[in-house]
Amino acid sequence: MTQETNPETNPGTDQESNPLFRHFERLYWIEFPLFIRDMVFDDDERKVLVFVDYNRKTTFPCSCGRQGLKIHDRIIREWRALDIGSYQTIIHLAVPRTKCPDCGVRQIKVGWSREHSHFTYLMEERILLLTQYMPLSNVARFLNVSERRVRKVLERFQGGARPPSRERAGPGPVPGIEAGADAKAGDPPPKGAGGRRRKD
């Protein structure tokens, strides 16, 4: 599946003309001025590559609140998102960095992930859920990610920290995180957790 556009002269064309891209932007919290330029289904690697883009003339705010900063440079980054069926989903973006007079060179914030994470917010929640019912090594193998990155997610939320995505999703417990925090070892995982009940 390929849809080409020139973000320099026609920003947002995909967002307006391709309903599929628009739906995925909502699912992954990809917000203006960012938009999906292309999606590629790689059958050999069993991956969905989601290419996010923006108008090169776009200005961005700094985390300090200063507005209208031009792009200083870009850093290629990828994030693992929730799978689509049996296909791993990877969000790809050349992340703009701005040069703030007060803060220096800073990477812009994206809506789908916390800073320095290799996962989307929702993928981190999936990891937290699975680690309540499976050893870390099994979670890493099940999701096809490194055990080191799974451990870093756990360290991030030690002490009951609330995943940032809850602020966006509205009130209510996160299955397996708030509601399942007191789950006992051996309890069956909730539906969709991907784990199986252990037989002694």
Q: Is residue 8 over pLDDT 90?
A: no
Query: Which class for 194: exposed (0-12), middle (13-18), buried (19 or more C-beta within 10 A)?
Result: middle
- Looking at residues 145-154, what average pLDDT do you find? 93
pLDDT value of residue 165: 54
pLDDT value of residue 115: 85
Q: Is residue 16 over pLDDT 70?
A: no
Q: Which of 4-8, 105-109, 173-177 has the highest mean pLDDT?
A: 105-109
pLDDT digits (tens, 9 = 90+) for 33-49: 999 999 999 999 999 99
Name the more confident of 162 and 184: 162
Q: What is the DSSP string of the chain?
A: ------TTTSTTHHHHH-HHHHHHHHHTT--TT-EEEEEEEETTTTEEEEEEE--TT--B--TTS---BPEEEEEEEEEEEEEETTEEEEEEEEEEEEEETTTEEEEPP-TTS-TT-SB-HHHHHHHHHHTTTS-HHHHHHHHTS-HHHHHHHHHHTTTTPPPTHHHHH-SSPPTTTTTTTTPPTTPPPPTTS---PPP-
pLDDT digits (tens, 9 = 90+) for 84-137: 989 999 999 999 999 999 999 999 999 999 888 999 999 999 999 999 999 999
Q: Is residue 52 over pLDDT 60?
A: yes
